[in-house]
């Protein structure tokens, strides 16, 4: 695990992190790690971390840094991360950044991208977002609509 490429995409929701992450994931052949996806996976499989996270989510509270850090730490040790990985929206806090730094190797090559965008554009992007109810493929009413209105091009699932 030497000279891993680690890309970190930071910025507010709707700034384009996820879109750029999909492009970078494909072009660089690196796994895309999103804290939201990790949380959903852990909750769905009922892991110990998932059970703890679910108790916070069910009560409308933020999942503590320690839980998020443990999920990320566990994930970056997996085989597909040996050459590097892409972090989408992590770290979000200084404690998360400090903990991530402890997990990195001195030979890791770190690239950090901070997306800045005007509030009006964020609102327009978020307001038009649609997600497939079956396969989670993202769409946008204006910028990337599905071919058949309200239905996924990939699996035919309903968009919400």
77 vs 1: CA distance, rounded Å? 10
Mean pLDDT, rounded, of the chain: 93
pLDDT in tens, 109-145: 999 999 999 999 999 999 999 999 999 899 999 999 9
Arithmetic mean of pLDDT, 1-21: 89
Where does the pLDDT of residue 2 fall: very low under 50, low under 70, confident under 90, or very high at 90 and above?
A: low
C-alpha to C-alpha distances, 42 to 13, 70, 110, nearest whole angstrom: 22, 11, 26
Where does the pLDDT of residue 43 fall: very low under 50, low under 70, confident under 90, or very high at 90 and above?
A: very high
Does pTM top 0.75 for this prediction? yes
Statement: residue 45 has pLDDT above 60? yes
Which structural domains are found in the chain, ordered by start?
5-118 (3.40.50.300), 128-160 (no CATH)
């Amino acid at each position: 695990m030497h000279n891993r490429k680690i890309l970190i995409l930071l910025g507010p929701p709707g700034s384009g992190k996820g879109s750029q992450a999909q492009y970078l994931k494909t072009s660089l052949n690196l796994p895309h790690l999103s804290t939201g996806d990790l949380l959903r996976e852990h909750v769905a499989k009922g892991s110990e971390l998932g059970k703890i996270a679910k108790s916070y989510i069910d009560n409308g509270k933020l999942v503590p840094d320690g839980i998020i850090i443990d999920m990320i730490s566990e994930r970056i040790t997996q085989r597909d991360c040996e050459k590097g990985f892409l972090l989408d929206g992590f770290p979000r806090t200084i404690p998360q950044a400090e903990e991530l730094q402890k997990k990195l190797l001195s030979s890791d090559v770190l690239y950090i991208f901070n997306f800045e965008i005007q509030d009006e554009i964020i609102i327009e992007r978020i307001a038009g977002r649609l997600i497939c109810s079956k396969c989670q493929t993202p769409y946008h009413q204006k910028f990337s609509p599905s071919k058949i209105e309200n239905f996924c091009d990939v699996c035919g699932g309903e968009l919400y």
